[in-house]
Amino acid sequence: MHETLPSTHLPAVSRSTITETYRRIAAAVRRTPVIDVEVAGQPVCLKLECLQHTGSFKPRGAFANLMATDIPAAGVAAASGGNHGAAVAFAARTLGVPAHIFVPEKTPPAKIARIASYGAEIVLAGERYAGALARSQDFVEQTGALAVHAYDSPATLNGQGTVGRELEEQAPDLDTVLVAVGGGGLIGGIAAWYGGDRKVVGVEPESCNALHAALAAGRPVDVSPSGYAVNSLGASSVGSLVFPIARQAVDSVVLVRDDDIALAQQWLWSELRVITEPGGATAFAALLSGAYEPAPGERVGIIVCGANTDFAAFARESPRESP
C-alpha cells in the first residue's frame, strides 16, 4: 500500500525526519494558506491550519503514523473524543484500513457522530480520557492494532512538524511563531523544525498549563486542566518526547485568560470570517491580549490550529452586527 520509513539512526524528530515525513504525507494533507493581517499596527502572518482536513492540524500526525509502517489486519486504534479521533478515522478511511476510536462515555453525541462519519468503529470507554486510553491500550495488546498517540510519538511529532516546514516556505522572514499547546505535539514538531533558528513561543490557557508547569518544574508534571479550551488543550501533562524538545527549542510559554480566547475567536470571525474553536484561537489570543508583546519590527507568525466548534453556539456568543 505504501513504503515504510527507511531504517536509520537519525534523531527521532529533526528537520530531516520532518522533511521525509512531509514527502510521504504531502499528497494526503492540505497545504494550508497563510494570510497577512494587521493587529494594532503590528503586521502578523496567520497560518490557517483550521482549514486542514477534519478542521485541525491533527491529520498530519495521523497520516504520519499510518504511512510510517504496514498496518496490521486489526487496523488502528486511538483514544480521543475530539480532533485526534476524527483525524485518525479520516486517515484510516483514506488509506482503506479499519479504525477503532475509544471515546469517554461523556463525549458529546455530535463529536461521536463526527468521528463515526469517517467510518470508524466507536467504543465508549470510561468517564474520562484516561479510561478511554486504557481501553485502547488493552485493545492494541489483544489484537495487534497500531496505536496512534495524539501527541507523544515520533511519527506524530514529525507529522505536526510539517506545519513548521510549510510555514518557513510560505513566510521565511518570520522572527517568532506563536503556537497553542495542549499535550505538545504541535509545538514539539514546530520547535524541532526550527531548532532554535526562530523564536517559538507556546501559548496556554491559564487553566490548561501543562507545558508552563513542566518547564517550571524541570520535568513533565500532572495538572488539572479546566476552562473554556479544555476540550482541545486539556492535556494533564506534556508528552515525555515533547518535553526535551520544548526545553531546548521553545523560547517561552505565555498564559492567556478564557476571556482573551473568546475575544480572539470573535476577532477572527468579525475581521476574517474565520471560525475557530477555543484552542484554535488561543495562540492569537496571546497577541491580541498583550500576553505576548512583539518588539518593534518583530515579524510574528501565528498558527490558527483548529475550527471544530458548534456554529450555532458560536453565532449566539458572537457580537451582533448591524444589518
Residue-wise pLDDT for 247-260, tens only, equals: 999 999 999 999 99
pLDDT (0 to 100) of residue 130: 79
Write down the pLDDT at residue 322.
37
Indicate if 263 and 194 belong to the same structural domain. Answer: yes
The number of distinct structural domains making up the chain is 2
pLDDT value at position 2?
36
Q: Are residues 173 and 244 in the same domain?
A: yes
Provide the pLDDT confidence category of residue 157 given band limits of 50, 70 and 90.
Answer: very high
Same domain, 41 and 81: no
- The parent domain of residue 115 ranges over 73-144
Say yes or no: 204 and 239 in one domain.
Answer: yes
- Predicted model pTM: 0.92
For residue 203 the three cell numbers come to 501559548
- For residues 161 and 20, the answer to whether their CB atoms sit within 8 Å is no
Q: Mean pLDDT, to the nearest integer, of 228-240?
A: 90
Residue 286 lies in a domain: yes
3-state SS assignment for residue 288: helix
pLDDT computed for residue 9 by the predictor? 43
Higher pLDDT, 42 or 48: 48
Q: Which helix (H) or strand (E) holds 86?
A: helix 83-95
Q: Is 59 helix (H, G, I), strand (E, B) or coil?
A: helix
Report pLDDT for 315.
61
What is the arithmetic mean of pLDDT over 69-73?
Answer: 94
